[in-house]
Structure 1
């Protein structure tokens, strides 16, 4: 299957272990970004996964491209130009101290990209899926129009379009997000959200839920999924459900509304190694399952299991195989050594 993802690839700088920013004189560097994370997961699942972005021609830009090629992601549609790669600094939280992300991405190559940079008719030729997130239009400039053009082209070619709402308050306000995403929504087939995004972006909240205290109502989120579908015409809606006990321990599950019924995955009790990219790994698992015509219950179980495993892996990218995901999705969560 040919799967296209579109967004920003960032340089990630992070203190080693659980050190704070103010404690260190060196940081480790890796690359990541919402849509790139999805592309890597799908490549690891054996798909023809393409990532589309704009990156500078210098060595850091090339290092970013190489970080994707290493895992089999196809990069021929990446546009080269601009002057800088966006950066984010990540400080890993522990226990009751939350993780912290600081962005330095203003003026990045993708943020300054133009509609003329991307030939969507060529990029989407023969594609089976198109995926992006709300982070991409949030970068501003011409990107909202670029996302709409990409979605329109995909619709014309009858290519399914998925979007993870991925609201980021450091990139835009809730009002800006709502105004822009309501313009893009008519072109989206599958809307993916976490327990907060539907409220932050579209103002649709779950009843009997207290996110800060880890109380999530299944019935409440069933209603959120149905309301999103009814109001914006999404054919399917998926919502990840994270109950945060503290920064080191979360409970994780997901809901999938297939346009008729709601299906819940099993709930996982996770010890967090790295939570960044958790939602992206869920998106990849869902896309993979739907393209294989899995039934709705199996699709949400596979996606949720893939995301659970990602929380045990350092970095943005989910380094797991289909077999490992299926092993967990089928019920073996013991973590016993395999030999």
Structure 2
């Protein structure tokens, strides 16, 4: 029987110009779907876990298309509540060379933003589950969604689930002050915290010393210090921090650290040539959760998570469409990209 993981958040319609065209150049946009926790859910389904995604979507055809995009990859969509009027939208313009990517949200008054606590029966949703995952984007969407997320965390703990959270600060959705206040309450229920170079600083004012994310200069000792401070404050069992050295929009160095039981474990570093970086952090979260529920040791856990997310950067769209075997092959040292016959 496969292990059951529940994720909760907003799935959005993603509209994007072809290739590297700018918004102002195009007269048509490519439509796909994606969103933090939905991306994690697809990863976990691809790895063979019982992956349950929870959200609220309208009953109309665009809402159904969003549901279908998840079903296609084996995600359990039976706990999705139907109702409301809107599917949130985000417009994505891919950056190249020294021009960064650009993301424009149009998600106000989406079905999930206007959801109420009565929309979700968490006792039923968590039946037989062992893990619950959400991101800092979900409580940022609306005050009612922050309330629902808190209720979900409390219920997850009542049911004995491990809870993970990717801090995922989005300045376009809420202020640092509000994020700090709301996330501090939610993090009391979190066992595994995922962050990047900026999240811990933006949300909790915890920064790595001697690091400048704009120039790509990273200090390993500084990140151990960040993980220690987060652990001291919230009692996390594990803190995972992704380390992205951005050389340009197309080329990044990518690695991560896992801090657990007072010890830091660093992954190998990958030189990425990027096809699509949206969902890179979510694919890391998916790899981390898969490793944890399968009892990998800390070094193997961080190597699998980083290899999974390195592969995601080569895939168009939000979802990480790779198999366990492909991730293991890269984690084991085969990053040649040679054709498989």
Q: TM-score, normalised by structure 1?
A: 0.99
Match of 1:189 in 2: 191
The answer to whether 1:246 aligns with 2:239 is no
Query: In structure 1, which of residues 80, 87, 90 is the aligned counterpart of residue 89 of structure 2?
Result: 87
Q: Structure 2 regions of 5+ residues with no counterpart?
A: none
- Runs of 4+ in structure 1 deviating by more than 6 angstroms, as ranges, are none
The answer to whether 1:325 aligns with 2:330 is no
Match of 1:22 in 2: 24
Q: CA deviation at 1:141?
A: 2.8
Determine helix, strand or coil for the equivalent of 1:211: coil
Q: CA deviation at 1:183?
A: 1.0
Match of 2:311 in 1: 309
Determine helix, strand or coil for the equivalent of 2:200: helix
Residues 229 and 259 of structure 1 are in contact (CA less than 8 Å); yes or no, is this contact kept in structure 2? no
| Distance in 2 (alpha carbons) for counterparts of 1:292 and 1:185 | 23
| Distance in 2 (alpha carbons) for counterparts of 1:21 and 1:99 | 11
| Distance in 2 (alpha carbons) for counterparts of 1:180 and 1:128 | 24
Q: CA deviation at 1:234?
A: 1.0
Please give the per-residue CA displacement for 1:24-64, whole angstroms capped at 9, x wherever unaligned: 00010000000000000000001110000000000000000
Q: Structure 1 regions of 5+ residues with no counterpart?
A: none
Deviation larger for 144-153 or 70-79: 144-153
Match of 1:68 in 2: 70
**Matched ranges for 1:116-155 at <5 A:** 116-155=118-157
The answer to whether 1:162 aligns with 2:164 is yes
Deviation larger for 29-38 or 135-144: 135-144
Q: CA deviation at 1:140?
A: 1.2
Match of 1:8 in 2: 10
Determine helix, strand or coil for the equivalent of 2:218: coil
Match of 1:58 in 2: 60
Please give the per-residue CA displacement for 1:278-318, whole angstroms capped at 9, x wherever unaligned: 00000010000011110000000000000000000000000
Match of 2:49 in 1: 47
| Distance in 1 (alpha carbons) for counterparts of 2:217 and 2:333 | 24
Match of 2:34 in 1: 32
Q: CA deviation at 1:334?
A: 1.1
Determine helix, strand or coil for the equivalent of 2:299: helix
Match of 1:256 in 2: 258
| Distance in 2 (alpha carbons) for counterparts of 1:259 and 1:197 | 22
| Distance in 1 (alpha carbons) for counterparts of 2:98 and 2:39 | 27
| Distance in 1 (alpha carbons) for counterparts of 2:261 and 2:173 | 31
Determine helix, strand or coil for the equivalent of 1:186: helix
**Matched ranges for 1:290-309 at <5 A:** 290-309=292-311
Q: CA deviation at 1:259?
A: 2.6
The answer to whether 1:77 aligns with 2:79 is yes
Please give the per-residue CA displacement for 1:250-281, whole angstroms capped at 9, x wherever unaligned: 00000001132110000000000000000000
Query: In structure 2, which of residues 174, 177, 182 is the aligned counterpart of residue 175 of structure 1?
Result: 177
| Distance in 2 (alpha carbons) for counterparts of 1:289 and 1:230 | 24
Match of 2:208 in 1: 206
Residues 112 and 141 of structure 1 are in contact (CA less than 8 Å); yes or no, is this contact kept in structure 2? no
